[in-house]
Amino acid sequence: MISRLTHSIWVNLLRLWPDNLVVLDRAALLHGCRPADLTNQQKIDYTYRVLTILDDKAQSLMQFNAFVIALVALFWPIVSTKSGAMLIAAAMTIGTSIVSIMASLFVVGVFWRFLAIAVPSTSAQNSATSANVPDSFSTEISNLCKVVGMRESAYQLAWAASLVSLLALIPIFYGALT
């Protein structure tokens, strides 16, 4: 049930998301060829490598945000006795850290099954008649490129929110030292 729901959400999001074929351009650059010369395996390998890197970065960013929230908790006894500006800075730090964590969870979430819609044809007859049928691997690779685009955007949002939370820590540190 949940698997169908998340798959349905992803499919509808992918319909709205623009193509992100720059991922294939990067893969071709890495392999020293044109995007059209890449094999399906090379495209999938490169795309999943990028997704793995994004996952790792998002996990690290979530750890950073946990540290920022812990700092606010550590300084809370001092912050709670200071002016309203300190409380606003603390709320802004925690709020933007939570936004960053939520965006990072979108990046690391496993909502897309590996080769979810790719159905390879096994007979010569299927490949001979598939001229009018879209190649399911091409559709899968196109969707994976869109997933990379969505997750890159979510990671950029998470990073920006983390930067704002870090900047909001400055008044807290300043107020704690004075």
* Predicted model pTM: 0.78
Judged on CB neighbours under 10 Å (0-12, 13-18, 19+), 97 is buried
The pLDDT profile of the chain, 178 residues, written as one tens digit per residue, is 656 776 676 667 767 777 777 888 888 888 898 888 888 888 888 988 999 999 999 999 999 999 999 999 998 888 888 778 888 999 999 999 999 999 999 898 766 555 555 555 554 444 444 444 446 677 778 888 888 888 999 999 999 999 999 999 998 888 888 7
Choose among 88, 94, 98: nearest CA to 171.
88
Q: Find the domain containing 37 and state its range.
A: 2-177
What distance in Å separates the CA atoms of residue 154 and residue 54, rounded to the nearest whole number?
A: 10
Q: How many domains does the chain have?
A: 1
Cβ count within 10 A of residue 61 = 22
Judged on CB neighbours under 10 Å (0-12, 13-18, 19+), 165 is buried
